[in-house]
Amino acid sequence: MSEKQSDSLIKPDMSAVLSRTHVSNNTHGFLLPVFEAISNAMHGVEARFGSSAHVNGIINVRFVNTQNPGLIQVSVIDNGIGLNDPNYKSFKTPFSGYKLKQKGRGFGRFIAFKVFSRVTYSTRYEFFNTIGRRDFRFDIRQDDEISFIQSDSELVDSGVHVSYEQPLTNWHDLIRSLNEEEILTEIGSHFLPYFLYKWLPLINVQFDDGEPEDISKRFKAVFVQYADGEFTCEIDGVEERLYYSLARINRSKNFRNHCLLLSAADRIVGTPRDLSQKIGEPFFTDENENKYVVIAVVRGEVFESRLNDARTGINLSSRTVEDIVKKISDIIQSKEHQQIAKIKFNQSHSLDSALKENPILRLGLKGKSIAEYVASKPNNWSEEEFVSDLAVERFRATNDLIKQIVAASANSENYESTIKVIVDKIDRSKKEALAEYVIHRKNIISLVESARKFQKDGKHSPEDTIHDLVFKRFSDNVSVDYFEHNLWLIDDALAFLPYVSSDRTIHGGRRKTGDKITDLLFFDESLVLGDSDGTTLTIVEFKKPSRNNFIFGREKDDPVFQVIKTLNQVTKVGGISKSDGTHFSFAGVVKKFAYIIADLTPSLVEVLKMHDFKNDWNPRIFVRFRDHEQIFIQAFGYDTLVENAKKRNQAFFSVLFDE
């Protein structure tokens, strides 16, 4: 066999290409062939009439039997240049260069076979002062994709008539639910760029024998550009120039939220990106109480080369899209400054109310006014998010202050004088907030005193009441903020540990046999606290006030044994499951502490002594360091808890209020 000097490519297997092309099963997906036909019709109209295309061009779209999948027919007819010889050659060429010049792909006519099984074309065109014609069925599943037929097309002048019939079975359910208003809106939205910054010919849409509706006229008054401009965005490492158009649209079922639309080949590509979270509200309200949304259309040459063949998406990274969303949101906010001012006013008012209930959070403002602080935060933040942020900011702003207070609490003799030095150094606003906090602490102490007293029925309030005052049971500080607990009642240092788990199992699920963290049946509650750098682990065990039936060595009745068992479990597992599903690691624990808070009744004192606890330095506090577990344990009563909390708090009162 002789070698050939040249060869030619085999034409693309379009059925295989289509099989890899995804079309969403919704009204937009169903209308993709119609969009392509309208787009081609506009190209044909422009080719024939040039600058007067918007005056002389006519495109008629007709839907027949829209809710009957077996009989539905959709046709698009134009009075453009038609499929003359050059256009017909381009039609037969997948991915033709001719279409690329028109910002097309030369692929759009093939997308029809993702929806319909029968497609026919009729065309009339000028040929040496006469009218030439072509009528054919187009079917990519055949060896000869084009079959010439006899046609009774209504075309008499030049133009193209394309007809779609016999939809695939997977579209039947959707066809039965088609809504005329939705179809009109989808067509208008798809060609939104034309309404905003280009021309449109007359486009009539007709359903069965109803009156044709001029879609150009219908949406020309709706999609009115009120602002446009440009910005740059880095795409694949290159700064690209993008152009935007903004339109205000009355809020409706189809336009419920502010949104971003990307445009390529002069039509909308992909689904809208909701801008509500960035802007702060899903819609605006004008001076007449009319609700409206802002539609942003962004386009650029860089999108054209990244448009997929089906024209259903633009190949952009999620980071690029997020950057575009942020920049266009900022632009909208600058254009809608009065609306944004209303959002900020409402946020400031809401936050001001929250701060009246939680004045300590003012420390998180760091000297800013509420308006200044709110202006620096996202527009979509709720009161809860502001409070959470201020709690964190307050903690950061006063971290050194708290460390000094904790250090001062270690020396009870000089506590008050040390606190005075600290308070003298903080500014007035922080003093006011600190004063509010001190009053809050005083009230909590009073509640603890009431809880441990006998109730009217002669019984003591169970320790779960006090536990809830200290830290809400069955929770952790994933859901409980800094100022929703009172761990300072036990020790000021505990109040600012990065993770606290209260009355929860280690695995985060329901209590199983052998679990120690939660054991409400026997009134032995515990909190497990960990330091984020993996150096400290603290266990707090509560017992019922005045309980006097403790027994050495018996698990349910020996609080020391219970502390050790809890310690062994958490260190063996190496961490604890948070309420949000994440894991907090206790790996590398160096220091271990435990508190047993229970009234020092005779049976408890006996158990403590049998565990070799001592109370030499303070008869009301029993302590022991267990060498084997390397843990330091303190045991004291509720009276000592309250007394020590009062002493610490009194130092603040003396300094702040001269009491």
Q: Are residues 208 and 235 in the same domain?
A: no
Nearest 10 degrees: Cα torsion 534, 469, 541, 503: -70
* pLDDT-derived band at 368, boundaries 50, 70, 90: confident
Residue 2 counted as domain residue: no
Burial class of residue 24 in the structure, from the number of CB atoms within 10 Å of its CB (0-12 exposed, 13-18 middle, 19+ buried): exposed
pLDDT at residue 469 in the model: 74
Question: Whole-angstrom Cα distance, residue 20 to residue 14?
Answer: 10
Which amino acid appears at position 494 of this protein?
A: L
Question: Whole-angstrom Cα distance, residue 268 to residue 194?
Answer: 10
Q: Are residues 184 and 245 in the same domain?
A: no
- CA-wise closest residue to 86 among 132, 152, 52: 132
Q: What's the mean pLDDT when you consider all of the chain?
A: 81
Question: Whole-angstrom Cα distance, residue 653 to residue 640?
Answer: 20
- CA-wise closest residue to 103 among 204, 198, 233, 218: 198
**What φ, ψ does residue 523 adopt, rounded to 5°?**
55, 35
Q: Are residues 75 and 201 in the same domain?
A: yes
pLDDT at residue 539 in the model: 87
- CATH code of the domain containing 29: 3.30.565.10
Q: Are residues 203 and 151 in the same domain?
A: yes
Give residue-wise pLDDT tens across range 53-63. Answer: 889 999 999 99
Q: Are residues 369 and 498 in the same domain?
A: no
Which of 17-31, 253-267, 435-449 has the lowest average pLDDT? 435-449
Q: Are residues 434 and 527 in the same domain?
A: no
Report the alpha-carbon angle 361-365-371, nearest 5. 115
For residue 424, pLDDT over 70 is answered with no
The Cβ of residue 446 has, within 10 Å, a number of other Cβ atoms equal to 12
Q: Are residues 252 and 287 in the same domain?
A: yes
Question: Whole-angstrom Cα distance, residue 393 to residue 377?
Answer: 13
Name residues whose C-beta falls within 8 Å of residue 276's C-beta, 6 or more positions apart in sequence: 257, 258, 282, 380
Top-confidence residue, 450 or 523: 450
Q: Are residues 379 and 240 in the same domain?
A: no
Which of 174-178, 487-491, 613-617 has the lowest average pLDDT? 487-491
Range of the domain at 34: 14-220
Q: Is 58 helix (H, G, I), strand (E, B) or coil?
A: strand
Give residue-wise pLDDT tens across range 599-648. Answer: 999 999 999 999 999 998 889 999 999 999 899 999 999 899 888 888 77
Measured in whole angstroms, how far is the alpha carbon of residue 64 from the centre of its chain? 42
| Token code pair at residue 149 | 């037929």
Residue that terminates a domain, selected from 333, 352, 376: 333
For residue 517, pLDDT over 50 is answered with no
pLDDT at residue 523 in the model: 37
Question: Whole-angstrom Cα distance, residue 655 to residue 658?
Answer: 6
Residue 311 counted as domain residue: yes
* pLDDT-derived band at 290, boundaries 50, 70, 90: very high
- CA-wise closest residue to 633 among 617, 613, 615: 613
For residue 138, pLDDT over 70 is answered with yes
- CA-wise closest residue to 422 among 436, 437, 395, 403: 403
Q: Are residues 428 and 366 in the same domain?
A: yes
Residue 3 counted as domain residue: no
pLDDT at residue 648 in the model: 72
Q: Are residues 471 and 380 in the same domain?
A: no
Residue 162 counted as domain residue: yes
Which of 119-128, 167-176, 362-371, 469-478 has the lowest average pLDDT? 469-478
Q: Are residues 257 and 403 in the same domain?
A: no
Q: Is the dihedral of CA 342, 348, 352, 354 positive or negative?
A: positive
Residue 451 counted as domain residue: no
Q: Is 73 helix (H, G, I), strand (E, B) or coil?
A: strand
Residues constituting the chain: 659
| Token code pair at residue 352 | 């001001």
Contact between residue 489 and residue 468 where contact means Cβ atoms under 8 Å apart: no
Residue 452 counted as domain residue: no
Residue that terminates a domain, selected from 269, 298, 333: 333
The Cβ of residue 577 has, within 10 Å, a number of other Cβ atoms equal to 18
Nearest 10 degrees: Cα torsion 500, 503, 506, 512: -170
Contact between residue 14 and residue 110 where contact means Cβ atoms under 8 Å apart: yes
Q: Are residues 317 and 392 in the same domain?
A: no
Q: Is the dihedral of CA 323, 327, 328, 330 positive or negative?
A: positive
pLDDT at residue 268 in the model: 84
Residue that terminates a domain, selected from 271, 302, 333: 333
Highest mean pLDDT among 22-31, 224-233, 365-374: 224-233
For residue 97, pLDDT over 50 is answered with no
Top-confidence residue, 214 or 367: 214
pLDDT at residue 396 in the model: 59
Residue 230 counted as domain residue: yes
For residue 514, pLDDT over 80 is answered with no
pLDDT at residue 437 in the model: 64
Tell me which long-range contacts 585-590 makes (C-beta under 8 A, separation of at least 24).
585/534, 586/530, 586/534, 586/537, 587/534, 588/534, 588/535, 589/530, 589/534, 589/535, 589/536, 589/537, 590/534, 590/535, 590/536
Give residue-wise pLDDT tens across range 229-279. Answer: 999 999 999 999 999 999 998 998 878 999 999 988 778 888 889 999 899
Burial class of residue 587 in the structure, from the number of CB atoms within 10 Å of its CB (0-12 exposed, 13-18 middle, 19+ buried): exposed
Question: Whole-angstrom Cα distance, residue 610 to residue 561?
Answer: 12
Q: Which helix (H) or strand (E) holds 116?
A: strand 116-127
Residue 657 counted as domain residue: no
Q: Number of structural domains, the chain? A: 4
